[in-house]
Amino acid sequence: DTEVTQTPKHLVMGMTNKKSLKCEQHMGHRAMYWYKQKAKKPPELMFVYSYEKLSINESVPSRFSPECPNSSLLNLHLHALQPEDSALYLCASSQVGAGDNSPLHFGNGTRLTVT
Amino acid sequence: EDKVVQSPLSLVVHEGDTVTLNCSYEVTNFRSLLWYKQEKKAPTFLFMLTSSGIEKKSGRLSSILDKKELFSILNITATQTGDSAIYLCAVETSYGGSQGNLIFGKGTKLSVKP
């Protein structure tokens, strides 16, 4: 088990549904990340939050909407997804700050299937 | 364009063998190089390397970074079937002065046969 908790573990949704993925960590990390991982591919960065502010958005379609309500929580709101969005969505967290060298710690992911 | 290249892409060995996994990179604003092990779900952290020539060890695993030649290796000695996994190399770069963009290689799939 990891110290980054993601819910739900599995999600099946239709293309007209609205759903949210949730991520929580209590390690005091102030940077949180969303990655998308397709089968047999490495994770790809989607969003980075640093001190609850979005600092990196890797040109992700607007049907994915991140939210960071506080330093421990990270959400990913999903709306009008496409079947090709089916993937494993990984949340990660790390420390942040000049001179810090903190690895990313990943959650177990949400396996999303869009029908 | 930043890139991270791992080799080999897959490897089959027998228990007790020693393996070496390779990772080379070309990035701007290098911060660190990380190794992760991924089985079914989350990548689990193995090592973070920031300085050249300093070996990091954890049990049967060890890793070293060469910042001049821009590569790292991950060694696993006396392999066990539980070492079977995909090993991911990632390089962290600074993005616009702030932290934390990981560029992953494609991974090396290691299969350890009994």
So what's the pLDDT on residue A101? 65
CA-based nearest distance B104→chain A, Å:
6
Answer yes or no: is pLDDT of B99 > 90: no
Mutate to test the interface with B, among A3, A4, A59, A104 (most CBs of B within 10 A): A104
CA–CA separation, B55 and B37 (whole Å): 18
pLDDT of amino acid B31: 87
Q: What pLDDT shows up at residue A56?
A: 77
pLDDT at B100: 62
CA–CA separation, A51 vs A97, rounded Å? 10
Per-residue model confidence (pLDDT) at position A2: 66
Chain B residues in contact with A90 by the CB 8 A cut-off are 42-43
Strands of the B71-76 sheet, one edge to the other = B3-7, B19-26, B71-76, B61-66, B56-58
**Record: contact A106-B104, CB cut-off 8 A:** no
Evaluate if residue A103 carries a pLDDT over 90.
no
Structure tokens that stand for A112 in this block: 């999303």
CB contact under 8 A, B34 and A103: yes
Q: Which residues are bridge partners to A50 per DSSP?
A: A31, A53
Nearest-angstrom CA–CA distance, B99 and A85? 27
Apex CA B34: angle with CA A52 and CA A71, to 5°?
A: 15
CB contact under 8 A, B104 and A55: no
- pLDDT category at A24 given cuts 50, 70, 90 is very high
A38 touches chain B (CB under 8 A): no
Give the pLDDT confidence score for residue B25 in this predicted structure. 97
Q: What is the pLDDT of residue A40?
A: 86
Q: What is the pLDDT of residues B39-58, one digit of tens each?
A: 988 899 999 999 899 999 99
* The pLDDT of residue B96 is above 60: no
Q: What is the mean pLDDT of residues A4-28?
A: 95
Kindly list the residues from chain A whose CB atom is less than 8 angstroms away from the CB atom of residue B96.
55-56
Q: Which tokens belong to A72? A: 């421990």
What is the number of H-type helices and E-type strands within chain A? 0, 11
CA atoms within 13 A on the CB side of B30: 22
Residue B79 has a pLDDT of: 98
pLDDT at A1: 54
